[in-house]
Amino acid sequence: MLELIWLLPTFPLLGFLALVLTGGRLPKRIAGPIGAGSIGLSFAVAALVASEFLNSGLEHFTYEAWVWMSVGGFNPGFTFYLDGLSMVMMLIITGVGFLIHLYATGYMSDDPSFARFFSYMNLFVSAMLMLVLGDNLVLLYLGWEGVGLCSYLLIGFWYTNPANGYAARKAFVVTRVGDTSMAIGLFLLFAQLGTLNIQEMLHAAEMQWSLGSGFAVAASLLLLGGAVGKSAQLPLQTWLPDAMAGPTPISALIHAATMVTAGVYLIARTHPLFEMAPSVQLLVALIGLITLLLSGFTAMTQSDIKRILAYSTVSQIGYMFLGLGVGAWSAAIFHLMTHAFFKALLFLASGTVILSLHHEQNIFKMGGLRNALPVSFFSFLIGSLALTAFPYTSGYFSKDEILLGALELEGVGFWFWLGGVVGAFFTGIYTFRLFFIVFFGDSQAEHPPEKEVGGWHMNGPLILLMILALAGGFIHVPLDAVFNHGEAHDEHNVSGLIHGIMIAVPLLGIAVSYLFFMSKTFSVDMLMAGALAKRLHAFWFGGWGFDTLYNAVLVSPFLFLARVNRKDIVDSFYALIVSVSQAANALIVKSQTGSLRWYALTVAGGLVVMVSLGAVL
């Protein structure tokens, strides 16, 4: 039964091929079932394989489909590696992915490029499954680049608008920085350890390298570079908010639930490497902490519903990085899972809101939607509660574990914990700011919605995701075998005060949000009165000026160089050859007079010259 694992990426790939080989001309009633059905089949297989795996009691299972290439000692294959970690990932990808596909059949039903949309989506799921199931870093890298490509294609899905194309290119180029770093990391690992099979590589690393050795630090730093790019963490976080240019199901699937968490998966997968480089592991936590705080501030100032959610995604992945950095591996993956539930829910619900309001994304032009859009209202309510870690929702358990994991770290652990708690406070503010502004108060909409869009295939996934976002925290994630070498996880031993603080702080954030945006006890305009506050707001609104900084430091100099070198200095040498031969040609063309007598003369003249040369020499 476990051998069926090779079917997992195959179904979406077949779906992609079916959709793409028909040139996107399939009618919607066929393309929709193919697109969503292939993921559904994949999910069925994943569930089957997972239950079989759990029952078998195996620690891990390897299935080799075929050898990809064989060069000397280097023979990566399409080999799938199943353990607790990849099992959780594959269930998230196929399960949440299926719900999002189902939702998309409704959301995209009016789009003329319906089949093209699903072909990209299927390719994405296939690549993502390769990424998490691959037992060697080459297959992982194939999936890694595959999801990057699909992300690019889907952000620029509505390519007739140049801004979307720009956002797609930005996402591609920025993640490319990380991908390059990761590729160099793979080269280093192969050169030093002679294998790219993940388990063998990790084993060899533990044998050959000592704790904190230069190679371990370099390799984990380079892998971290790739993870940071893919997961939109500091300093490569700038692409994710712009990636919201894509259709909303894309934002839910790729830019919230699955692809952006690939970096978290990569670090968790190679965690022994990071454990051997404690300084880099600390850097992971630090990056996570700074990212979660910065994007929390930014999310509070945004006005676009999807950008708020995008910044909150960056912030939540920051929590995952924090968890990875402090060694709370399973907590990070647990948060990855619950985040996939509630953030997919929030994005899909925002899709319903946007569609109901005829593609309006500005939250200040919504307002009072709770009666008009009941399903989105409850989806947002539950998603927001889970996002702010309201007690006994899914986000509460996972965020709690990360923060408690931080607290267990000696020394700086307390500061990480404090930063995470402050971040949770901001999460409460920005999440419920969105919630209150959109669903309460007076309607500001230009075209108030008559009724909520959506049939069963849009509302069904929302309801299922609501249940998952509420109860997802009770799912036991079988990760002990992966991270603790089989030992059971020890319970956290902390005082009631700490627990109280962690419960109270998000509630405090919600309360602050309530006072500002619901009861209007305080007014934002009052806060914004000062010049300093205005500038600060503009600064945060622009994402801490990272875009401006990168434009000034990287983009502008590059464009300047490009402009200087417009004529291509190196190429001028070759251009010279061309112009010289053209001049010579023009010269010789003159001798081609077309006059027979002239030709005869040249023949005779040539003969005379030859003969006299022969005579002289």
Partner 1 sequence: METIPVEHGFILAGILFCLGLIGVLTRRNVVFVLMSLEIMLNASGLAFIVAAARWEHAEGQVMFLMILTLAAAEVAVGLGLIIQMFRQFQTVDINVLSEMKG
Residues that bind partner 1 (CB under 8 A): 588-597, 600-601, 604
In whole angstroms, how close is the CB of 589 to partner 1 at the nearest point?
4
DSSP codes joined into one string, 37-62: HHHHHHHHHHHHHHHHHHHHT-S-EE
Cis peptide upstream of residue 235 (ω within 30 degrees of 0)? yes
Tokens found for residue 317? 């992945």
In whole angstroms, how close is the CB of 610 to partner 1 at the nearest point?
15
CA distance 83 to 80: 10
Q: Which is nearer to partner 1, 493 or 591 (CB)?
A: 591
Question: In sequence order, what are the beta bridge partners of 319?
Answer: none
Tokens found for residue 485? 């070498």
Q: Which is nearer to partner 1, 451 or 590 (CB)?
A: 590
In whole angstroms, how close is the CB of 145 to partner 1 at the nearest point?
52
Q: Which is nearer to partner 1, 532 or 589 (CB)?
A: 589
The helix or strand, by DSSP H or E, that contains position 272, with its residue range, turns out to be helix 271-275
Question: In sequence order, what are the beta bridge partners of 80?
Answer: 63, 134
CA distance 480 to 556: 49
Q: Which is nearer to partner 1, 73 or 614 (CB)?
A: 614
Measured distance between the N- and C-terminal CA atoms of the chain, rounded to whole angstroms? 90
Q: Which is nearer to partner 1, 552 or 601 (CB)?
A: 601
Q: Which is nearer to partner 1, 554 or 601 (CB)?
A: 601
In whole angstroms, how close is the CB of 559 to partner 1 at the nearest point?
44
Q: Which is nearer to partner 1, 484 or 593 (CB)?
A: 593
Question: 111 near 126, Cβ under 8 Å?
Answer: no
Question: 421 near 402, Cβ under 8 Å?
Answer: no
In whole angstroms, how close is the CB of 583 to partner 1 at the nearest point?
14
Residue 363's nearest CA partner among 280, 305, 436, 439 is: 305
Composition of the chain by helix, strand, coil, percent to 5 = 75, 5, 25
Residue 427's nearest CA partner among 308, 306, 546, 535 is: 308
Q: Which is nearer to partner 1, 55 or 585 (CB)?
A: 585
Tokens found for residue 130? 């390769």
In whole angstroms, how close is the CB of 598 to partner 1 at the nearest point?
9
In whole angstroms, how close is the CB of 560 to partner 1 at the nearest point?
45
Q: Which is nearer to partner 1, 159 or 598 (CB)?
A: 598
Tokens found for residue 46? 């994943």
Q: Which is nearer to partner 1, 548 or 602 (CB)?
A: 602
HSE-CB at 102 with a 13 A cutoff on CA atoms is 24
CA distance 253 to 93: 8
In whole angstroms, how close is the CB of 614 to partner 1 at the nearest point?
17
> Phi/psi at 109 (nearest 5 deg)?
-65, -20
CA distance 345 to 277: 37
Task: Give one word for 18, left, alpha or beta, with left for phi > 0 and alpha for psi -120 to 50.
Answer: alpha
In whole angstroms, how close is the CB of 575 to partner 1 at the nearest point?
24
In whole angstroms, how close is the CB of 612 to partner 1 at the nearest point?
15
In whole angstroms, how close is the CB of 617 to partner 1 at the nearest point?
22
What one-character DSSP code corresponds to residue 244?
G
Q: Which is nearer to partner 1, 558 or 598 (CB)?
A: 598
